[in-house]
Amino acid sequence: MQNEELEGIPNQDKIEAQKPTWQLTPKTKKILALGSGIFSVFIFSLLLYLSLFGKKPSAKKIPIITPGYFVVTATPPLEPTQWASNSAVVKIKSDLASLSGQLNIVDLNEPILSLPNIDLRVTFQK
């Protein structure tokens, strides 16, 4: 009964047989080390050659741009709009000036919210 249920699942022997059995011999290790060393030296020498003799950017002359001559004209004095003499606008301006003056007079400091004076020179006696 148990074997019938496990027919689709490979057993441990089949799994062991599927693992690769090759290993690196000392000769193969030497060849790989020598090949990687030669490759590293080749890459290093190629980078060194390119950094020393590669195409370098030429020093280009930076053009100096001088500003052209232009005439500065004075702007004409601004004329007040039609709303500047309107009674509602004049009243708002006067109210704003009054409020601004009152705010400049009022002291906004709250002594209750200030930090207390703390004596930081505390000594503890034994």
Q: Note whether residue 13 is domain-resident.
A: no
- Tokens encoding 75: 């702007």
| Average pLDDT score over the chain | 81
Q: What is the DSSP letter of 56?
A: P
Number of helices (H), then strands (E), belonging to the chain: the values are: 4, 0
Q: Note whether residue 66 is domain-resident.
A: no
Q: What is the pTM of this model?
A: 0.32
Q: Note whether residue 6 is domain-resident.
A: no
Q: What is the number of structural domains in the chain? A: 1
SS3 for 62-101 is CCCCCCCCCCCCCCCCCCCCCCCCCHHHHHHHHHHHHHHH
Over the stretch 107-124, which tens digit does the pLDDT of each residue have?
877 878 888 888 888 888
pLDDT band, very low/low/confident/very high, at 91 (cuts 50, 70, 90): very high
Over the stretch 35-72, which tens digit does the pLDDT of each residue have?
999 999 999 999 999 888 877 766 777 788 887 777 77
Determine how many CB atoms are found less than 10 A away from the CB of residue 36: 10
Please determine, for residue 6, whether its predicted confidence score (pLDDT) is greater than 60: no
Is residue 117 within 8 A of residue 111, CB to CB? The reply is no
* Spatial CA neighbour of 51 closest among 43, 62, 40, 63: 43
- Tokens encoding 49: 């050659």
The residue segments making up the domain with residue 46 are 26-52
Q: Note whether residue 30 is domain-resident.
A: yes
